[in-house]
Amino acid sequence: MKTIIIYKSYHHMNTEKVARAMAETMNATLVRVEDVKPGELEGYELVGFGSGIYGGKTHRDILKLVDEIDPMDKKVFIFSTSGIHGENYHDLLIEKLKFKGAEIMGEFNCPGEVRPLGLNLDLKGPLGWFMGKNKGHPNEMDLNNARIFAESIIKS
């Protein structure tokens, strides 16, 4: 199945690490969101959208791309990295993709390192937002879980 993974990652490149692990597993084309145009999705059967979570939601560049694409009868999957793991951050993106006619195949989220002041003391709770948290994430276990998720998408 011809697959493209589109992602937005900056700060610590957490989401890029996950995107690369998935792309290798799926033998997918990997593209940063700023390097893809809406019409370029035509030749793909499966599309992945990945983003760091900023302010509790998917990065605006991913949301903007989805707004600009034509209705599509494609299978898609969503993934993200976030400072707080376990929240449901994908609702807006899912709503937009369903509106475009996409079939959501699955979602994946793992922790991403947060270093707002350039250091990471790996603190829990609200202080972690100022002094750093999730040190070393995504780690190898997170990336392995991303690979397992990617394999499950291909098989389904």
Name the residue with tokens 């792309």: 23
Gap between the terminal Cα atoms of the chain: 11
Q: Averaged over 74-83, what is the pLDDT?
A: 95
Instruction: Band the pLDDT of 11: cuts 50, 70, 90.
Output: confident
Q: Averaged over 143-150, what is the pLDDT?
A: 98
Phi and psi at residue 123, in whole multiples of 5°? -90, 150
Per-residue pLDDT at 30: 98
pLDDT digits (tens, 9 = 90+) for 112-130: 887 776 767 777 777 766 6
Per-residue pLDDT at 122: 73
Per-residue pLDDT at 75: 97
The CATH code for residues 3-155 is 3.40.50.360
Q: What percent of the chain has pLDDT over 70?
A: 94
pTM: 0.92
| Least trusted range by pLDDT, from 47-61, 119-133, 141-155 | 119-133
Among the listed residues 101, 117, 110, 98, the one whose alpha carbon sits nearest the alpha carbon of residue 136:
110
Cα separation, 33 vs 50, whole angstroms: 9
Q: Averaged over 85-112, what is the pLDDT?
A: 92
| Residue 100 reports pLDDT greater than 80 | yes
Q: Kindly tell me the burial class for residue 107, based on how many C-beta atoms sit within 10 Å of its own C-beta (0-12, 13-18, 19 or more).
A: middle
Cα separation, 77 vs 75, whole angstroms: 7
Per-residue pLDDT at 151: 98
